[in-house]
Amino acid sequence: MCSANTDVVDDFLEDLWLAEGLSQNTLSSYKTDLSHYLNFLNDKNCWSADLDLMQRFIASRVQKNYSSRSNARVISTLRKFYQWGVDKAKVSDNPAKRLVLPKMVKSLPKDLDETEVSRLLDAPDISTDIGLRDKAMLELLYATGLRVTELVSLELNDVNLRQGIVRVMGKGSKERLVPMGEYALEYLIQYLDTTRKDWLSGLKEEKVFVSQHRKGITRQSFWHRIKHYVGEVGIRKDISPHTLRHAFATHLLNHGADLRSVQMLLGHSSVSTTTIYTHISQVRLQQLFNKHHPRA
């Protein structure tokens, strides 16, 4: 790798940090993408690279089975890097802007059917403190379709037990009100009146869901709890932290909810984001038809 290239990338990242205040994770992604690119260039000066060389770099990634999403991100990085080069008069043209973004395959979310969800929700042992807390969290997650981050971020003043509603601050600081349903409300009240009160012993903590360490439970800790219960009840699917959110949306649509209502409950800014769940519902309906219709 040409050391001059490495120095240029360092300058680029420093300017990005100063100008845009990007997070370390974002800067690390840029650095990783550009490191792969510089390795491909070997000792060739990055400012002499043309469109053909960049296309061969992307083709090499395709041959190594990098995903379309990953390659699209790399192209975006190259475009930004070479535009910076133009702005700094290091190069006269940005050949990366002529790279064609790969078509993104819109993957369907991993799905749990209603029986599997019931098994998962019934897994915690509610005779224990941890089990009761986990039961309340799982029931609330499935009843509201919250993101896991939104769930663990809930504070006491976000929950209206009398009306059975939670106030959620979602992406883009957009607030929404979501009903929690009878089951979630029942176990949430039990948890607040017993486990939470016992663990905190009068300590002030605004987060609704806490750990035995007397502070809010983290997203990672709760995700480990979910994986524990998934294994315990023998669900063999590779689920994600969003799985119960996906199940919430899919099962609502399967039972006749309209798309606009589901969009509002999920906090999607555009209904087009919510339409992916209609595909899952259609798949489910096709499976039911094939299984039960005499002429299928």
Distance of CA 203 to the CA centre of its chain: 32
pLDDT computed for residue 296 by the predictor: 42
Average pLDDT over residues 76-97: 93
Looking at the chain, the whole-number percentage of residues with pLDDT higher than 90 is 52
Average pLDDT over residues 61-80: 91
At the topology level, CATH places domain 3-98 in DNA polymerase; domain 1 (1.10.150)
CB under 8 Å to 127, separation ≥6 — which residues?
A: none
What are 125-148's pLDDT values in tens digits? 999 999 999 999 999 999 998 989
Confidence band, pLDDT 50/70/90 cuts, at residue 292 = low
On the question of pLDDT at 72 being above 80, the answer is yes
pTM of structure: 0.59
Average pLDDT over residues 29-49: 91
What are 158-186's pLDDT values in tens digits? 999 999 999 988 776 778 888 998 999 99
What are 231-279's pLDDT values in tens digits? 999 998 878 778 888 888 888 877 777 777 777 787 776 666 666 566 5
DSSP label of 293? -
Please say whether the beta carbons of 8 and 45 come within 8 A.
Answer: no
What are 96-105's pLDDT values in tens digits? 999 988 876 5
CATH class of 114-292: mainly alpha
pLDDT computed for residue 2 by the predictor: 45
Distance CA 241, CA 230 (A): 12
Closest CA to 66 of 32, 43, 95, 42: 32
pLDDT computed for residue 25 by the predictor: 80
On the question of pLDDT at 75 being above 90, the answer is yes
Q: Count Cβ atoms below 10 Å from residue 14 Cβ, excluding itself.
A: 11
pLDDT computed for residue 187 by the predictor: 97
Distance CA 224, CA 36 (A): 33
pLDDT computed for residue 243 by the predictor: 85
On the question of pLDDT at 281 being above 60, the answer is no
Give counts: helices (H), strands (E), the chain. 14, 3
On the question of pLDDT at 3 being above 60, the answer is no
pLDDT computed for residue 218 by the predictor: 93
Q: Tokens 């000066």: give the residue.
A: 45
Average pLDDT over residues 38-56: 91
Just list the catalytic residues: 147, 171, 242, 245, 268, 277
Listed by start position, the domains of the chain span: 3-98, 114-292
Mean pLDDT for all residues in the chain: 85
